[in-house]
Structure 1
Amino acid sequence: MPAPTIKIAVVGPLASGKSSFINFATETRESFTETYIPTVPVRIIEYEAPSTTRGRSETWNVQIFDCSGDTKFEHTWPAMSYKLNGTVFVYNPDDKKQAEELNLWYNNFVEKPNLTEKCCLLVASRKNQDEEDSKSDRNLPLSTLFSDIPRIAFNGKMDEIENIKQTFVDYLKKVIAETSRGQEHDERFK
């Protein structure tokens, strides 16, 4: 029997730090690149993740869809959100336009695929900003859609890499657990 698969979308406004965050979280890269290269329209990262769910050890195939923040690719979003198990939102909390734009991403990557907030993560990305600045309360307010979604800060500092990786592993465990519950529920009611 093939390993079960979970599909995670990493979404947010253009140039918000989505690829940088996922590069750090999945150990694809451990430092920022100096030049900005926009994702066109999606980059897919695949790997296997071991998991223990309800006393059962198994390996899951993880597919991460690192989606372009350019809305000109909006026509591709239904395909990217098809059979989606989780969504990671990345945005710059100092940019009012980005904070407002998150609602569009929420609609397309949480509401339309019918995800729960348990399968979401919100990343406030401030590239190379001082730790003191990142702890300030100057984050722009988000809509109430995001009030139940766990949040983390991401600054791209070398000393935060281990914490980012662990947070992402914990997030994947939650998504796997929710996906397993949903699959068991579906099997019982077939």
Structure 2
Amino acid sequence: MQPLKIIVIGPIRSGKTTISNFLADATEIPYDYHPTKGVRILEFEVQNIIMNNKHITKDIELWDCSGDHKFENCWPAIRKDIHGVIFIYNEKSSDCLKEIQQLYDYFIGQTKLDPDRCVIFCYDPEKKNPEISKIISSTFMKISHIKCNIESGGSKLKTDFASFISTILNKMHNYTNQEDKNVLNENILFAK
């Protein structure tokens, strides 16, 4: 079974690599900033995902993408065959809304990916604002928006991520079942 390809996108210095490393249990979380060059792919398993009322383990490819626009020429390869998108921003990101809107248009709008296959994490490492920022536009009204902090809310972040993966898998399963029913109905009609 192929792994789920989840991309992590957002403005420069928004916490994409920190969150990606945490979700993948990849390394200790570095607190000094090192910009991502293009994309990093982290491979890992998520256990106890609920799909069709069963607990399963799923392989994940988490694509930690640079927020630097000089790597836009990589975007076509990055968005090929994606199953889900994690948008990450923090309130320190200048022009955050404009950046996320551009990323949404390219990775969601142009691919017609269902908004249920997206989530927005507002990364707040300094816990300055207990409320989720209201800077996100109406474009994102159908997308789950989650405030996250690794230090004090790491287990919640992993639970939210597992729930996101579960949503994607159930959507994919329901889509496949509907597609199978449509093919079966077409074959029955054709046979008559």
TM bucket normalised to smaller: 0.7 to 0.9
Post-superposition CA distance 1:19-56 (Å, at most 9, x none)? 11122223224x53132111110111112334443256
Query: 147, 150, 157: which is aligned to 1:153?
Result: 147
Instruction: Considering Cα pairs closer than 8 Å and 6+ residues apart, tell me whether 1 or 2 has the greater RCO.
Output: 1
Higher alpha-carbon Rg: 2
- Asked if the contact 1:14–1:68 (Cα under 8 Å) also holds between the matched residues in 2, the reply is yes
> Distance in 1 between the 2:53 and 2:97 partners?
40
Aligned-partner SS, 1:107: helix
Normalised by the length of structure 1, the TM-score is 0.85
Aligned length: 182
Between the aligned partners of 2:167 and 2:71, the Cα distance in structure 1 is 29
Q: How does 1:1-190 map to 2 (within 5 A)?
A: 3-29=1-27, 32-50=29-47, 51-55=49-53, 58-127=56-125, 129-130=126-127, 133-136=128-131, 139-157=133-151, 159-190=152-183
Write the distance in 1 (CA, Å) between the matches of 2:50 and 2:136.
34
Q: Show structure 1 runs of 4+ deviating over 6 A.
A: none
Distance, in Å, in 2 between the alignment partners of 1:176 and 1:125 is: 25
Q: Is the 8 A contact 1:12 1:18 kept in 2?
A: yes
* Residue 103 of structure 1, CA deviation: 0.4
RMSD after superposition: 2.1
Q: Report the residue type matching 1:135 in the other structure.
A: P
In structure 1, the partner of 2:188 is none
Q: TM-score, normalising length from structure 2?
A: 0.84
Listed as ranges, the gaps of 5+ residues in structure 1 are none
Distance (Å, rounded) in 2 between the aligned partners of 1:154 and 1:63: 21
Segments of structure 2 that go 5 or more residues without pairing to the other structure are: 184-192
Determine helix, strand or coil for the equivalent of 1:64: strand
The one-letter amino acid of 2:34's match is I
